[in-house]
Amino acid sequence: MTLMKTTYLGNLRCEAEHLDSGARIQTVPPKDNNGDGTKFSPTDLFATSLGCCMLSIVGMAAATHGFSIDGTTITTEKVMAANPRRVAELRLDIAFPEGANYSDKEKAIIENAARTCPVANSISPEIKKIINFIYR
């Protein structure tokens, strides 16, 4: 079990603390929702958590199968909807390092692990996920 504590700091800012480690993050709404956009918004964290989870699970799968994804990046675009305001779509570009040469089997392992990470499995099917795997 993981425990987190979130505190409202005022001026639309919140701070969340991971109680086991003491790590802290702050959030503020985006400019289009009454905030100043100077930090991650809660929905930014939601979108970012998908990319972090994907990379973690793909990294575990790669280590199990004897290859590396070191240097891999994910660029995430969050698309909002109105009425009600919510995340409607997540677009993720997963870019593997130049010169990384993955076999077809390794690519299948990567893509399955990314699509089935715990966060991906927890996101409502109503939220469209577009995932591009970029092998260079």
The predicted-structure confidence for 20-45, as pLDDT tens digits, reads as follows 999 999 999 999 999 999 999 999 99
Please provide the CATH number assigned to the domain covering 42-134.
3.30.300.20
The predicted-structure confidence for 85-108, as pLDDT tens digits, reads as follows 999 999 999 999 999 999 999 999
Q: pLDDT value at position 1?
A: 83
Residue showing tokens 């702050």:
26
Q: Domain residues of the chain, as ranges?
A: 4-33, 42-134
Residue-level length of the chain: 136
Q: Mean per-residue pLDDT for 109-134? A: 98
Which of 60, 93, 88 lies closest to 75 in space, CA to CA?
Answer: 93
What are the start-end ranges of the E strands in 19-127?
24-27, 73-81, 86-95
Which of 30, 7, 9, 47 lies closest to 131 in space, CA to CA?
Answer: 47
